Structure 1
C-alpha cells in the first residue's frame, strides 16, 4: 500500500548501484524537507529512542478513521533527516486508518535499509514508525 512518492524512492534505490549513492540520495531527500520552527521542538514532539535529536509534528485534517494524516519532521543528523523524508513519502496523505495498516518494516525492507543502517539508526527508525502509528491511532480514535 505504498504511496506514489514512496514507489519513486524504491525505484531510485533499485537504479542506484551502491550504498554510498543510496546514502547520498537519502541525505538529498532530507535536505528537501522544510525545517521545523524551534518553537515546536519541545518534549511533546521529540521522538524517544533515537540516538539523534528527532521531532515529529503531526498534521491531521478531519476526524475519525478517515482523517488525513501528514507530518513535519526534523533531525539534527543528515541520514536521519533523510529517513524522516522516506517515512513522509510512505505515510503522507493516507487516512489515519491506512497509516496504522501500513506494514512499514516490509515497505522499508524493499529499500534494503535493514541491512545497511547501524543498530542505533535502525532502533531510531523503529521509534519513528511507532510514534507515527501511535499518532495516527490516537487521531482515528478521536
Structure 2
C-alpha cells in the first residue's frame, strides 16, 4: 500500500496509466485527479517554515518519520501542482533517507515525459519540490 494515498499505486503504475491517454489534456486531468487523492493538510502546517521556495504556486511540504521511513505531507493552492506533488511523492514516500537519495528522479520524469510539457516555471517548481525532499534526506543522514 502506498503511504501517499492509502491506495496501491507505484511510480510504474503512474507511468503506465499516463501512457493510456492520447492527449496531454487527458494526462493533466489524470494528474489533477491524483492530487485530489492526497490527504488534506491541516491549516496550521501551512506556514512559512513549510513553504517550498522556487514554486510558482504556494506549496507546503512537511516531513514526518515513521521508524526510518519518511512520509511527506503536502499541499498546494493550485490543482495541477497538487497533482504534480502526488506524482513526486509516489517516488519518495515511505522510503528511508538513503533510498530517497537513490531514486533516479530524472529517469522517472523522462519516463513520464512530463517536464517538457510543463511551463518553465512549473518545471522549476517541480525541481524545487524534489530538491527540498532530497535536502531533507541529506540532512537526516548527516545526523
Q: Deviations over 1:33-90 (max 9, x none)?
A: 112111011111100000100000111123xxxx211201000011100011011111
- Pairing 1:135–2:136 present: yes
Partner of 1:49: 54
Aligned equivalents of 1:71 and 1:93: distance in 2? 8
Question: Which residue matches 1:36?
Answer: 41
Q: Which runs of 5+ in 1 are unaligned?
A: none
CA distance, structure 2, for counterparts of residue 59 and residue 41 of structure 1:
15
Runs of 4+ in 1 over 3 A off after TM superposition: none
Shift in Å, 1:26: 0.4
Structure 2: runs of 5+ lacking an equivalent: 1-8
How far apart in 2 are the matches of 1:81 and 1:49?
15
CA RMSD of aligned residues (A): 1.4
After the TM superposition, which of the residue ranges 92-101 and 72-81 deviates more from structure 2?
Answer: 92-101
- Partners of 1:60 and 1:139 within 8 A in 2: no
Please give the alpha-carbon distance, in whole angstroms, between the structure 1 residues aligned to 2:17 and 2:108: 14
Give the whole-Å Cα distance in 1 for the aligned partners of 2:127 and 2:57.
Answer: 13
Q: How many residues align?
A: 136
TM-score (ref. length: structure 2): 0.90
